[in-house]
Amino acid sequence: MDKPVKVQLTLGSGLSLDRQRLLADQVRERLRLLGLREAIGYDHRGHTRLVGWIRTGNLPILLKDLRWQPADWLAPEIPLADVPAPLRDRSPILITEVLEEPEGPPKEPPAPGPLRAEDNSQKIAADLRRLAGQEEAGQPVRMEVILTYVPEEFDLTWRRELVVASPGIIIEGRLGSVVTVVGPPKQATALSASPIVSALRLPPSVMSSLRSATVANADNQAALQSTEMSRYHAQGKKGQGCPCVAVIDGDFRGFEKLKGQALPAKTRYVDFTAERNPTLLPDPFPGDAQGIGQGTQLAQALILAAPDADLTLIRVDPACPYQVVAAAQLIRGAALRSDSLVQRDAELNFEDRRIAHPARGFAPGTQGRAGRFSSR
């Protein structure tokens, strides 16, 4: 009986990572012509392993040289030189294993039907739904709203749609179709009802790559020698003339006390967490206030390699990718529209009207400051 079976294929190795990936892609493309359904989310072991399902009738073909298979796609009389490298240089499949799979391959998921109004809760991630059901659900949290499309640069329709769907929501920033907002978790239900919202979730957790604090009595010269930076220093190449060398991180604890010592005295510091707060004060740093942050340690390593560089430290919230992109835009000198400053501008406009007309509220014709912070 010609039925699908699960197979594990071991590919030839020994190539650089880029070439190994290319070989795996070439093999994958040919196997699709043989009906291979590749598995999802498995360990490819450096692009040397493929796992999927193929019909038993095509199993013998996997034991042959794949460079000539399927025969009607690449006939044997075609010169081997016409086969793209690196597939041209070797028979790619070393081992073919049939794996036991009692239940057979997974079935194709059914096509989703139209979303009913009562199904909007399915747009909300499970952890956010649980948080919305707790007693402290009235406390604001940071959420990510995934739009159904990517707005154009000056398109503000999405902003109005979200504010109408959930009045009082604070919009911090947007990267592509991902909008970072702040509000009570219960507001996720109202946001999910908007036709432009495809999903809502809590920001993904961010893991620090910091492994240890600054090493006491470290031999900096030995470190430079091991990286061959001392050779460039001997040639007078110490980063002088660089218009801007920036370190982007979320933790710059201790940088101020290192200025003029392990860091240049003219080190500049920019904190993107300040503009998203109504007080315009930055978020407190995580961890021990007396410690040395990961970003500070990275800056020390950079200045050790390029002591004459013009250094700028840029703090972002690692859980807010729009801030990383904003930092990159500023480094390039591009114009930047800040959604957080638009929010601050709206708050100032509200206060202007409230102070000018404490009894009547928003009087017609009241002058505000809309647009003052539209770019920088």
The CATH number assigned to the domain holding 182 equals 3.30.70.2980
Last residue of a domain, which of 201, 226, 254?
201
Asked if the structure places residue 216 within a domain, the reply is no
Asked if the structure places residue 211 within a domain, the reply is no
Higher pLDDT: 374 or 11? It is 11
CA distance 150 to 90: 43
- Residue 306 corresponds to which amino acid? A
Same domain as 316, residue 348: no
Same domain as 71, residue 37: yes
The token duo for 147 is 């739009």
Binning pLDDT at 50, 70 and 90, where does residue 371 land?
A: very low
Last residue of a domain, which of 99, 127, 153?
99
CA distance 324 to 315: 9
The token duo for 347 is 């708050």
Same domain as 282, residue 362: no
Same domain as 312, residue 262: yes
Same domain as 13, residue 95: yes
Residue 119, pLDDT score = 67
Asked if the structure places residue 225 within a domain, the reply is no
Same domain as 244, residue 322: yes
Residue 66, pLDDT score = 77
Question: Is residue 327 scored above 80 in pLDDT?
Answer: yes
Asked if the structure places residue 221 within a domain, the reply is no
Asked if the structure places residue 305 within a domain, the reply is yes
Could you tell me if 193 and 122 are in contact, meaning their C-beta atoms sit under 8 angstroms apart?
no
Q: Which of 77-91, 248-262, 321-335 has the weakest average pLDDT?
A: 77-91
**Domains in the chain, number:** 4
Residue 185, pLDDT score = 92
**Cα dihedral sign, 158-160-164-168:** positive
Asked if the structure places residue 34 within a domain, the reply is yes
Asked if the structure places residue 57 within a domain, the reply is yes
Asked if the structure places residue 112 within a domain, the reply is no
pTM over 0.75: no
For the domain that residue 90 is a member of, what is the CATH number? 3.30.70
User: Average of pLDDT values for 218-233?
Assistant: 72
CA Rg value for the chain: 28
Same domain as 194, residue 141: yes
What's phi and psi for 187, nearest 5 deg?
-70, -15
Residue 121: alpha-carbon gap to chain centroid: 25
Average pLDDT score, the chain: 80
Q: Which of 161, 177, 160, 166 is nearest to 140 (CA)?
A: 166
Same domain as 66, residue 123: no
Q: Which of 58, 46, 42 is nearest to 8 (CA)?
A: 42
Same domain as 126, residue 77: no
Same domain as 325, residue 242: yes
For residue 141, list its beta bridge partners. 183
What domain range includes position 349?
337-376
Same domain as 316, residue 287: yes
Q: Cα–Cα distances in Å, from 27 out to 9, 24, 98, 108?
A: 10, 5, 18, 23
Binning pLDDT at 50, 70 and 90, where does residue 368 land?
A: very low
- Residue 252 corresponds to which amino acid? F
CA distance 198 to 115: 11
